[in-house]
């Protein structure tokens, strides 16, 4: 199967910028999604990348390099409410989504 | 406002019991999915359905079955619950189409099998 790798945990300070990386196998790639999941809640959609480059949406941006099998989620002006798990998911042709293990982000005051 | 609901937030069952988890979506989505989420493993796809009465196995279908008799409802069945099926179960739905539409998730059911 396709493996998706993300760091397990990250810690950052309120007001700072944090970058969460995701690497995946490139063969059959058909789009990459980022989801946010607060503890005990459902994942919610953050962003979608299918072409190379940066997609910006307010404080959150997502970058994709298809040739490198690499994406990152950039969170600016961190707030306490950004403490959550961030899930990278890749869709492959002929298959459904494959999710990474998630990165648990802790934002400290 | 899009909505996916699941029948229970918490469920405790005994080993060997038959367990039904229900999921309903009100967005007229064609695709529906069942995942389980375990620490360190992420979301793993159990089964999905792209139409009424249609089902496809995901990555970990063993020990599970599904039913989709109506477009809005997708049920996950544990024929004989076992302790290794203790997990968080998440239902999701999405549109069918050429574009990769995002999935909308329900709140999850935390199942404990004792």
CB contact under 8 A, A33 and B100: yes
Average pLDDT over residues B5-23: 96
Q: Which residues of chain A are within 8 Å of residue B45 when distances are taken between CB atoms?
A: 96-97
Closest to A45 measured CA to CA, from A55, B55, A15? A55
- Give the CA radius of gyration of chain A: 13
Total Cβ atoms within 10 A of residue A77: 11
Which candidate in B102, B107, B110 is best for mutational testing of the A interface (most A CBs within 10 A)? Answer: B102
CB contact under 8 A, B103 and A97: yes
CA atoms within 13 A on the CB side of B31: 20
pLDDT digits (tens, 9 = 90+) for A39-60: 988 999 999 999 999 999 899 9
CA atoms within 13 A on the CB side of A59: 11
* CB-CB contact of B82 with B36 (8 Å): no
Q: Nearest by CB to B105, from A31, A43, A101: name it.
A: A43
Angle at A101 between CA B18 and CA B71, to 5 degrees: 45
Written as one string, the DSSP assignment of A27-48 is: TTEEEEEEEEE-TTS--EEEEE
Cα separation, B101 vs A15, in Å, equals 32
Average pLDDT over residues B19-37: 94
Instruction: Point out the least confidently predicted range of A26-30, A36-40, B39-43, B100-104.
Output: B100-104
Q: Does B43 touch chain A (CB under 8 A)?
A: yes
* CB-CB contact of A84 with A36 (8 Å): yes
pLDDT digits (tens, 9 = 90+) for B49-70: 989 999 999 989 999 999 999 9
Q: Does A33 touch chain B (CB under 8 A)?
A: yes
Closest to A97 measured CA to CA, from B74, B27, B48, B110? B48
Cα separation, A53 vs A42, in Å, equals 28
């Amino acid at each position: 199967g396709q493996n998706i790798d993300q760091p397990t945990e990250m810690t950052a300070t309120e007001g700072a910028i944090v970058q969460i990386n995701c690497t995946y196998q490139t063969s059959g790639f058909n789009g990459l999604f980022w989801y946010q999941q607060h503890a005990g809640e459902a994942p919610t959609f953050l962003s979608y990348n299918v072409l190379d480059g940066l997609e910006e949406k307010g404080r959150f941006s997502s970058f994709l390099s298809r040739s490198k099998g690499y994406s990152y989620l950039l969170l600016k002006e961190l707030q306490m409410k950004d403490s959550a798990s961030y899930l990278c998911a890749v869709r492959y042709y002929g298959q459904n989504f494959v999710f990474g293990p998630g990165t648990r982000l802790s934002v400290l005051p | 406002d899009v909505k996916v609901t699941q029948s229970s937030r918490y469920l405790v069952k005994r080993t060997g019991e038959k367990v039904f988890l229900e999921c309903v979506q009100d967005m007229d989505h064609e695709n529906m999915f069942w995942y389980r989420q375990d620490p360190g493993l992420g979301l793993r796809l159990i089964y999905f359905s792209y139409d009424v009465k249609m089902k496809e196995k995901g990555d970990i279908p063993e020990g599970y079955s599904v039913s989709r008799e109506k477009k809005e409802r997708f049920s996950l069945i544990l024929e004989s619950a076992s302790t290794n099926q203790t997990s968080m179960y998440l239902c999701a739905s999405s549109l069918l189409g050429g574009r990769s539409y995002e999935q909308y998730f329900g709140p999850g059911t935390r199942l404990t099998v004792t």
